[in-house]
Homo-oligomer: A and B are copies of this chain.
Amino acid sequence: MRLKDLGEFGLIQKFFRSAGTRDRSVLAGIGDDAAVIALGSDHCLLVTTDILLEDIHFTQRFTTPFLLGKKSVAVNLSDIAAMGGDPRYYVVSLSVPGSLPVRFVQELYRGMRSRARQWGVVLLGGDTTGSKHGVSLSITMIGTAARSRVVYRHGARPGDQIYVTGTLGNAALGLTLLMRGLDGPESRQLIRRHQDPEPRVAVGRMLGAQKIATSMIDISDGLLGDLHHILEQSQVGARLVRDAIPLSRQYKKFCQYAGSDPYRCALAGGEDYELLFTAPAHHHARIHRIAQSLKLPITPIGEIIKRPGWLEVVDKHGRRVPVGREKGFTHF
């Protein structure tokens, strides 16, 4: 059997999970946004790693080295944010062809530093090597959190409301527009969301610190796919209200113009790096205050139900909407 027959998630499950861990200091290993290590009685380390590979995750045609650097740090910040943690340190593994202009690496680091500095995250070092084919960039980020404030994927409970930050589908639509050469002034904002996602560190930290969220994940594989991870690990189901999904003005305008279903990208498109979380209904007012203080929309889009693994989408009239539960992007 070849890897492409197995698929990425199959591969990860097959090998990483079987590794298991019987070390008592590891509170969460594979299968959350970041691994969680107990440090002393009250503190935790959060560890996450992400690869960005040329012509798989990005192409130099559609981004700049500066934005690539920013994004590589942002996607890791987003993982720490999704655990309610404080991002602190990162290391970089970088493989680049010798034929690449020095300026490329300069700009890449400038991008990394610019995103890292925004959140006080420190570059510890890394390994750099020549490659024969393209750029490969892997970042490992370390965060900290109080043990009682870490937010996992497995805490969602029936009756909890499901929330998302920001607006959805922008990054996926932005990429589509880029690929079609529609890089004009009207589409620039959507394209920016693909090239330069804004990690939701502040809101993740507040939802953890105030013990509001019962479960949390960042939307990197698409709303449905990522919600499914929460359902699976929390052993619950969900009912989503399609019409409640927050969409940006530009996003709606482009969908209307193209005559395409605005909920397609919003449900299945990835890389928005917004936070998806669940919280008991009585926290609604506190969530509203957080949204106001951060000037970031946080929208309830459904609720957690008992039926494990069940995911249904209804329209504003409560009628079921068929959605081909498109899974996240598979790398093989």
Chain A residues in contact with chain B, CB under 8 A? 1-6, 8, 11-12, 14-16, 18-19, 21, 23, 25-26, 29-31, 35, 37, 39-40, 45, 47-51, 53, 55-57, 88-89, 91-102, 105-106, 109, 113, 120, 122-134, 136, 138, 140, 142, 331-332
Contact partners of A45 in chain B: CB under 8 A: 45, 142
Stoichiometry, as copies per complex, reads 2
Partner of A332, one of B53, B88, B98, B124: B98
Task: Determine whether the beta carbon of B47 is less than 8 Å from that of A123.
Answer: no
Query: How far, in whole Å, are A12 and B93 apart by their CA atoms in the complex?
Result: 11
Query: How far, in whole Å, are A6 and B97 apart by their CA atoms in the complex?
Result: 12
Q: Which 8 A-B pairs have the closest CB atoms?
A: A4-B98, A133-B133, A35-B124, A130-B331, A30-B125, A93-B138, A140-B140, A98-B332
Instruction: Identify the closest chain B residue to A31 (Cβ).
Output: B125
Task: Determine whether the beta carbon of B19 is less than 8 Å from that of A113.
Answer: yes
Known A40-B40, A49-B127, A125-B31: A98·B21 in contact at CB below 8 Å? no
Q: Closest CB-CB distance, A134 to chain B, in whole Å?
A: 7
Contact partners of A102 in chain B: CB under 8 A: 1-3, 5-6, 11, 14
Contact partners of A11 in chain B: CB under 8 A: 102, 105, 128
